[in-house]
Structure 1
């Protein structure tokens, strides 16, 4: 075919050819774009997953750091609390606190008191009264509720250490002392045990004492030190709140492990 004829043909059919080539180019372009988008989507998904993993690791690390800080803060608070202490208890029958001054401090010493043993409307919570009361307003006229001193009503021979007393314990007034632990925050009187449970610190031990079952007034159980002291000026039978040793009574109290008429020990523990 002559060249002139070819140009003539292209001149007549050129728009068709260009249209076909345009479509082909468009298809090729779209294919390239689609492939690129697929690659980009795949890469985007990879990046998104990687960022999500990094975010999760960062959150996990933040949580770990926060938990570490929380534990350290609690440990520091625990140390501060233990350094400050705060456990308060009464040592019945003594005028001094157990242990050295580095661990325990004396809040005050005093004399034990309670309701009269024959009064029907008696209060049942025995008190450790300070030796040096400080008065508010007063009228000096009798009311209807009374506070009496407390006496040992038994000698407790063969049961207690009597090295701190010069005369039999019977009829002696009962001293007491309020103590505060400098390092421990909880205190517990354990009836029926001469020692403390694991993890608890021993303060003192002795024997449970309370009012007689035959008296009208109710009392409470208190732990009298095994080596009691006595008020030297209180060796008189003046009565008031009276203390007797507490013995086990089998029945609803299981025997064994308890024993009929055996004196019940006690211990005071801190933690």
Structure 2
């Protein structure tokens, strides 16, 4: 067929070509929309699946992978339908919550133990409970959980004017605590261990004195008894929640004094009795949320 004949044929049958072209463009458009929607929905499904896995797991979510998937959604993909805006807001909010929990995991010290408890809790380090000498005036009042292996900065090895000492149980605590982890020894004069713990899925920790269980909505990390220094000592101390089943440090029974630890008992007066009871040991609990 020569060029003149082709032009004549197209002139006579042009309306058919227009119809076929329109149908072809419509089919192509539908295919592109379906492909676009499928790709878009698949990306959202992957993101929501990541968030669902994080909510059910004790293992922290890989935020780098999630970030890559979020970046893969272009602005046009995110806004393709009217309901996308609400989906986007929910996804972003869940990501923010996940990031906040991961970056701000609740920290607490488990006094009297070398390990942490709970499936969603990790041990940062196991240490040695320490504080001021019981007979020093003007001493620091906040106890510390010192790492077992220190890392030194610059030093002179000359005595300063502030000191820190290891902590000892200064009572036997007979018939009060669970002795299962004390290796068959009395707690009197034994060195006190400690563990610094981090909750992987909760962002707030709270020590509640006077209770051995958490309030509704809070998760129990451990419970025990409130302990502090002797009321007649020169140095002030802080109240610690010591685990109900305390352990002892390897250094053990040497009665070298230092920072003393005693059970705390309630005293009536401004502390209302009979809600509280005179000389009854005060319990405590550490909770996270």
TM over 0.5: yes
Cα distance in structure 1, aligned partners of 2:156 and 2:282: 43
Cα distance in structure 2, aligned partners of 1:84 and 1:212: 38
For residue 213 of structure 1, report the CA deviation from its aligned partner: 0.8
Are 1:120 and 2:137 matched, yes or no? yes
Q: Secondary structure in 2 aligned to 1:86? A: coil
Q: 1:255 to 1:67 in 2, by over 3 A?
A: farther
Q: Which residue pairs with 1:89 in the alignment? A: 108
Q: Which residue pairs with 1:237 in the alignment? A: 255
Q: Secondary structure in 2 aligned to 1:244? A: strand
Q: Which residue pairs with 1:266 in the alignment? A: 284
Counterparts of 1:238-253 in structure 2, within 5 Å, are 238-253=256-271
TM-score (norm 1): 0.72
Are 1:171 and 2:194 matched, yes or no? no
Cα distance in structure 2, aligned partners of 1:131 and 1:148: 13
C-alpha deviations, 1:225-258, integer Å up to 9, x for none?
0000001322111100000000111111111321
Q: Which residue pairs with 1:109 in the alignment? A: 126
Q: Which residue pairs with 1:135 in the alignment? A: 152
Are 1:209 and 2:209 matched, yes or no? no
| 1:153 counterpart (170, 180, 198) | 170
For residue 70 of structure 1, report the CA deviation from its aligned partner: 4.3
Count matched residues: 207
Q: CA RMSD in A?
A: 1.8
Cα distance in structure 2, aligned partners of 1:83 and 1:112: 27
Question: Any stretches of 5+ residues in structure 1 without a counterpart?
Answer: 1-61
Cα distance in structure 1, aligned partners of 2:160 and 2:116: 34
Q: Which residue pairs with 1:6 in the alignment? A: none
For residue 145 of structure 1, report the CA deviation from its aligned partner: 0.1
Cα distance in structure 2, aligned partners of 1:232 and 1:65: 60
For residue 206 of structure 1, report the CA deviation from its aligned partner: 0.3
Q: Which has the larger radius of gyration?
A: 1
Cα distance in structure 1, aligned partners of 2:271 and 2:101: 37
Cα distance in structure 2, aligned partners of 1:257 and 1:90: 29
Q: Secondary structure in 2 aligned to 1:74? A: helix
Cα distance in structure 2, aligned partners of 1:221 and 1:158: 21
Q: 1:78 to 1:154 in 2, by over 3 A?
A: same
Q: Which residue pairs with 2:215 in the alignment? A: 197
Question: Any stretches of 5+ residues in structure 2 without a counterpart?
Answer: 1-81
